Structure 1
Amino acid sequence: MSEKQLNVLDLFCGCGGLSQGFLDAGYNVMLGVDFEEAALKTFKYNHETSDVLLADLSKDEAIEEIADKIGDQKVDIVIGGPPCQGFSLTGSRDINDTRNTLYLAVVKAVRRFKPKAFLIENVPGIATLYNGIVKQQIINTFEDMGYNVSVSPKPLLAADYGVPQMRKRMFFVGIEKGYGSFEFPEPTHTPERYVTCSEAISDLPSRDEEFGEEVDNYEKKPQSLYQEFMRQNSKKLYNHVATNHTEHVKWVISQVPEGGNHKDLPPGIGDSRKFNEAWTRYHSKKPSRTIDTGHRNHFHYKYNRVPTVRENARLQSFRDDFVFIGTRTQQNRQVGNAVPPLLSLNLAKAILRHFDDVKSGRRKVKDLEQLNLELNI
């Protein structure tokens, strides 16, 4: 199966974090599809051999637009992370209700292109939404379409796979029946060996008294193996521009201890933000909290400012040669919405190993239906 590159179709691709992991694993990402133009510009800039399509995946015609774009090319794997809002409960057997439009885009793509496998990423809550009915609907729908569906037993923690971030996500992986069932990769890192914020970003210029340029030079040598990995293909520093906070905001941030949040502020300070993630300062010796799509709630472990786009990209495991296009707000949204490339890489490699094991005979591919047939049950 690995004698040729497997072709990947990436739906809801965003800037391309999920695709980056598959590219690094040796796949051919043929097309990225999204509705946000700035994200697609970033995707195309960094994935030069991949094509892009601006399309609304909630519309029926989007699948045929994809088919026209890829032509006669075979789709081997469909990947994507569709939003889960809008799920209805019209039936417990499948998710083929018109209100489930975004997930239906993946269903329609799999039905249309008949790939060997698919991968879906989503927030941890998808497993318990409506007491687990949505999760079962997803499994049932794809199993009825001819796939063995594996669900991560619990949300995968990005830090377990070398990402300096405590981000949790659920994954569904479907393998065409006849090719066995997928097994999720074992963690590569233990809590004692998690990559920390300091190991991820301590080499970057402080930007404590300056805002920086979109393209700049490094000032320090790499301080860790992770930083060496991040910088291996980059001679310039991109997207490392600091936010110009008011003196009052910087003063409030200065009151938050390393690893602390709004609960550590003195009474009467920072009252404008009192929700869970407000005024959270990263800890230099721990992975970061989940990178979000904004840039107002998390702060550098040392400096009194929010992280730059490049710092958050490092914490998401984007290498420094991955350049983000658009306004600062668009760049932050692209970084926050992305699947960490290192987490994606581990999953992509596990799918490759699965098919290689099937081909070599190391993995038994008989599914329950085949066994029942042989046993005349």
Structure 2
Amino acid sequence: MIDLFAGCGGMTSGFTAAGFRPVLAVEWDLHAAATYAANFGAGHVRWADITTVTDVPEADVVIGGPPCQGFSNLGSRDVDDPRNQLWKQYLRIVREVRPAAFVIENVDRFLSSSEFGLLQAEVRPGGLLSGYHLTSGLLLAADFGVPQRRKRAFVIGSREGAIPLPTPTHPSWHGVRTVLHGLPEKPAATALPKSTVEYFGQTVPGRFTSADLHLGRNPTALSLARYQVVPPGGGRFDLPDHLLPRCWREKKTGTTDVMGRMRWDEPSLTIRTEFYKPEKGQYLHPQWEPGPSGHRVDRPITHLEAARLQTFPDDFTWCGSKIEIARQIGNAVPPVLAEAIGRHVAAHLGGTKAESACRLCV
């Protein structure tokens, strides 16, 4: 397999668990590329702009998620955003490699974009990807064993006949308790250890273990007062007027998940790149009991907790600053979801048909 726009390796983690072997990974962000190399080896990783990558090896499958901020509900929705043109580089490499199948991951808006329309045109007779059959749709990570309501668009292209999207494997969803229960409620540190490692001739912070990522913060008295009054499933509308910033006081609708608290026995909402900021989403720890003596954990989730909600295994190691690692976590495809897709694709291509239990279920 080849992983383009590989990030820290969420898709590779899942596809290797499904039996694939990576022969090339391309990632332009140094710290994400270093994290990938730390976990899967540096020999096949190219820290480079994808437009400069040539001489790609043969592969059965090409996977990847071209940058999609311009399509995102949180972005500018600008179809001319240069980040949205990088999907063409993905297609260039698919055309050169001619794998049996390719998989694209993107935000849900991708399926209604002009770029997706052009992709569909390229698989028609005479197009750049003539001979491929496309299947596309939305997958909800919680349906595949990920304790997170993360919905993303997936496109599977195949030269072996159309490959349908995988069907849900988990009609009963995992709650956040599955991965958060048992972790220390009070993190012992607020900063990463001072250590560095060299990849691609560059020195970067790392390698950090999962335990190193269980990092606390130092909230202000105002922030702490806000955290204390938000119950599980609640958010900014639970704050009394004297704790509301002016922008929230004047905005009576929308942004319902900000300053939100998770529920133990439900999946989290989407883990984004700034999960350590409760004002950005439902990122408060789920432990909260009513009453003046109720047991509460009044803090946002840690980097380790976010990585677990994304289903990264605890033996995964990380490179970069706290902000850079948070970006890697939030941008990744959950490995457990990627594994389900990888096994599904392998079965249709005549590879292993073995099913494995979701590791969160055993």
TM-score (norm 1): 0.75
- Cross-structure match for 1:103: 87
Give the equivalent residue in structure 1 for 2:313. 319
The letter for the 1-side match of 2:189 is F
Separation (CA, whole Å) in 2 of partners of 1:28 and 1:320 = 21
Unaligned runs of 5+ in 2: 72-78, 194-208, 249-254, 288-296, 354-362
Q: Distance in 2 between matches of 1:328 and 1:272?
A: 29
Change (3 A) 1:85 1:149: farther
Q: How does 1:245-324 map to 2 (within 5 A)?
A: 245-271=219-245, 274=248, 275-294=255-274, 295-297=276-278, 298-302=283-287, 303-324=297-318
Check conservation: 2:67, 2:84, Cα contact below 8 A. no
Match of residue 219 from structure 1? none
8 Å CA contact retained: 1:29, 1:50:
no
AA aligned opposite 1:291: I
Relative to 1, partners in 2 of residues 1:317 and 1:273: Cα closer, same or farther, differing over 3 Å?
Answer: farther
Q: TM-score, normalised by structure 2?
A: 0.78
Q: Is 2:177 aligned against 1:198?
A: yes
Aligned to 1:173: 156
- The answer to whether the aligner puts 1:239 opposite 2:240 as a matched pair is no
State the distance in 2 between where 1:236 and 1:309 align. 9
Alignment of 1:1-377 (within 5 A): 8-48=1-41, 51-57=44-50, 59=51, 62-64=52-54, 67=55, 73-84=57-68, 101-129=85-113, 133-143=114-124, 144=127, 145-153=129-137, 155-176=138-159, 179-190=160-171, 193-207=172-186, 210-211=188-189, 237-271=211-245, 274=248, 275-294=255-274, 295-297=276-278, 298-302=283-287, 303-356=297-350
Report which stretch shifted further, 300-309 or 310-319: 300-309
Consecutive unaligned residues of structure 1, counting only runs of 5 or more, are 1-7, 88-94, 216-234, 360-377
Residues 32 and 50, structure 1, Cα contact 8 Å, conserved in 2: no
Amino acid at match of 2:25: G
- Cα distance 1:100–1:152, how it changes in 2: closer, same or farther (>3 A)? closer
* Structure 1 stretches of 4+ moved >4 Å: 97-100, 212-215
Q: Is the 8 A contact 1:107 1:142 kept in 2?
A: no
Q: Is the 8 A contact 2:190 2:217 kept in 1?
A: no
What fraction of aligned residue pairs are identical, expressed as a percent? Answer: 34
Shift of 1:101: 2.7
Query: Is this contact kept in 1: 2:4–2:63, CA < 8 A?
Result: yes
Q: Which residue of structure 2 lines up, in the alignment, with residue 370 of structure 1? A: none
What residue number does 1:4 align with? Answer: none
| Paired residues of 1:212 and 1:241 also in contact (CA < 8 A) | yes
Aligned length: 308
Tell me if the contact between 1:32 and 1:52 (Cα under 8 Å) persists in the aligned partners. yes
**Aligned partners of 1:258, 1:111: CA distance in 2, in Å?**
49
Q: Matches of 1:358 and 1:267 in 2, distance apart?
A: 58
Contact 2:134–2:156 (CA under 8 A) maintained in structure 1: yes
Q: Is the 8 A contact 1:152 1:172 kept in 2?
A: yes
Deviation at residue 203 of structure 1 after TM alignment: 1.3
**Distance in 2 (alpha carbons) for counterparts of 1:264 and 1:350:** 43
Structure 2 counterpart of 1:199, one-letter code: T
8 Å Cα contact 1:39-1:334 kept in structure 2:
yes
CA distance in 1: counterparts of 2:148 and 2:261, whole angstroms = 13
Cα displacement (A) at 1:264 = 1.6
**Kindly tell me: are residues 25 and 101 of structure 1, through their superposed partners in 2, closer, same or farther at Cα, counting changes over 3 Å?**
same
In 2, the alpha carbon distance for the partners of 1:250 and 1:99 equals 38
Q: Which residue of 1 aligns with 2:196?
A: none
Which whole-Å CA distance do the structure 2 matches of 1:257 and 1:98 have between them? Answer: 42
Judging changes above 3 Å, is the alpha-carbon distance between structure 1 residues 50 and 201 closer, same or farther for their aligned structure 2 residues?
A: farther
1:276, CA displacement in angstroms?
3.8
- Using a 3 Å threshold, how does the CA distance of structure 1 residues 264 and 353 change in structure 2: closer, same or farther? same
Match for 1:204: what amino acid?
A: L
Give deviations 1:258-299, integer Å, cap 9, x for gaps. Answer: 111111211232326643432011111100010000121321
Q: Is the 8 A contact 2:133 2:161 kept in 1?
A: no
Query: In structure 2, how many angstroms separate the alpha carbons of the residues matched to 1:63 and 1:276?
Result: 43
